Structure 1
Amino acid sequence: MRIRTAAPLALAAAAALAGSLLATAPASAASHQGGLHLGKIQYDSPGSDNRSNTSLNAEYVDIHNNGRSTLQLRGYKLKDNTGYTYTFPSHTVGAGKTVRVHTGKGRDSGAHAYWNRGSYVWNNTGDKARLYKPGGTLLDSCSWPKGSGVKVCH
């Protein structure tokens, strides 16, 4: 008889625990609603790594503005584990929009920024992208092990 009453109690406790875990899951997802964050990172450009500008520009980091207003990115920094740093000049990203930071050379536009490097930044064998506010506060980070060449953060 105790087994019969213990099973429903255990089931009720498990359901309550699952419900509380589900209730907390959106809070972590909501941490990026209304802010700037790292999105997709193409850390291994498709094809052979021949250092052509086309190959360098196929390596990129998407930075998404999930907020309700346009943000000025002047002074924001994007860094890797080695210390390579891209500092945004005067560049804006609209509400709900994404700016793609390419490793190679090009002309900045609303949706694209260029690091203007002649060599790759992001390590194919594992690395970590960090986005810093102008004052130096870490805003977001995303890491990956050796893998497929693409990481979708958050």
Structure 2
Amino acid sequence: MRREIEIALVLCLCCALAGCATHGTSGTDTASAIGETPVANANASDATGANANDPAAFETTLNATVVDVADGDTVDVRLANGTEETVRMVGVDTPEVWVENAPGEFRGVPNTSAGRDCLREWGHHASDYTAARLAGANVTLAFDSDTDRRGYYGRLLAYVYVNGTNHDAALVERGLARVYDSGFSREPAFRRAAAAAYANRTGLWSCAANASADGTTGSTGSGTSGESATMGDGTSATGSTATTGEANGDSASSGTGLVVARVHADAEGSDGKNLNDEYVVLHNAGTDPLALDGARVSDAAGHTYAFPNGTSIASDASLTLHTGAGTDDERDRYWDAGGPVWNNGGDTVTVRAADGTILARETYD
């Protein structure tokens, strides 16, 4: 009898170590099947846009690598376990590039061939911007508890964070996407960013004809896309809340198509000894070459680099500005700053034309 009791105790101990449970499969258990990471103590204030550039504010996140960009709001990713998934970004809808656009889904855009052509052009800009920022990047997918985990087509529905910044929000602020008419935790902040973009005729909202600055004129069709999720959180590519005025003078708002595609502030090893691994990548998402004669790049502290005459970026091309010294060519420029410029803990990249007009701006943490 004593031996039977000992055997029973051993079996109970083995069961406990193996993680046996008497309850059914929970949402967290299901999430773990694709390698998701539950995050404790999610910040409730995030629903209003606070901590927008902190994916840990969500209950569940997932690390992945982007392997393909389908369009502005849809990417294919490879998860840590090797499986591949298609991700539809929560809260946003960029204009279509593969099928016909419905102008009625975009406030103030006329239902004409010109309106549809304009939307398609900005759909390509949105795709280019997403490709420049996300292609091949390691990202964090954050799942909103107010939306379904998957859409009608089986795609994951998530906010996509790259280098700690909310890409969904960046699309809205730059006027590269509209906000879905559906409920998600970041919707109020996303709508504030969309209103600012619309008022300034940023990005695709330049397609709006005869619409008043406050958006009271023009159609307001809700539009659907077969997804149960929505997107929006009014943050910049770094998650800062959008405002009117100069803060919206970034990237697409200038009408040039210039975007700050990447900021690599933390060089490998010692920043001071590896200045050329500290750099900023500028991308021309426009359809024409972009001249940067006399344009200036500056940080929040006022350190400034001026592009020499003859500098330009071809359409759908990028130019990298390294902090250190080197030989300039059409793809790389060298600041020769003598020391690090971009703060590892956060900074603002501003690109101004020679006349002071803001061509692009990016804040990162």
Q: TM-score if structure 2 supplies the norm length?
A: 0.32
Report the CA distance between 1:48 and its aligned residue: 2.5
Percent identity for Structure 1 against Structure 2: 33
Residue in 1 that maps onto 2:362 = 142
Kindly report structure 1 stretches of 4+ aligned residues shifted beyond 2 Å. Answer: 20-27, 30-34
Structure with higher RCO (Cα < 8 A, 6+ apart): 1
Amino acid at match of 2:284: N
Q: Which runs of 5+ in 2 are unaligned?
A: 1-90, 94-104, 107-170, 178-202, 204-251
Amino acid at match of 1:67: G
Note closer, same or farther for the CA distance 1:47–1:21 as it changes in structure 2 (3 Å cut). closer
Is 1:74 paired with 2:293?
yes
SS of residue matched to 1:129: strand
Q: Which runs of 5+ in 1 are unaligned?
A: 1-19, 146-154
After superposition, where does 1:53-92 map in structure 2 within 5 Å? 55-90=274-309, 91-92=311-312
Residue in 2 that maps onto 1:105 = 325
After superposition, where does 1:1-154 map in structure 2 within 5 Å? 22=93, 23=105, 28-29=175-176, 31=203, 32=252, 35-49=257-271, 51-52=272-273, 55-90=274-309, 91-145=311-365
Note closer, same or farther for the CA distance 1:46–1:73 as it changes in structure 2 (3 Å cut). same
Aligned equivalents of 1:96, 1:21: Cα separation in 2: 23
Which deviates the most, 113-122 or 21-30?
21-30
Aligned-residue Cα RMSD (Å) equals 2.2
Structure of greater Rg: 2
Q: TM-score if structure 1 supplies the norm length?
A: 0.72
Note closer, same or farther for the CA distance 1:21–1:117 as it changes in structure 2 (3 Å cut). closer
Contact persistence 2:256–2:290 (CA under 8 A) = no
CA shift digits 1:94-121 (9 cap, x unpaired):
1110000000000110100000111000
Contact persistence 1:34–1:68 (CA under 8 A) = no
Contact persistence 2:256–2:359 (CA under 8 A) = no
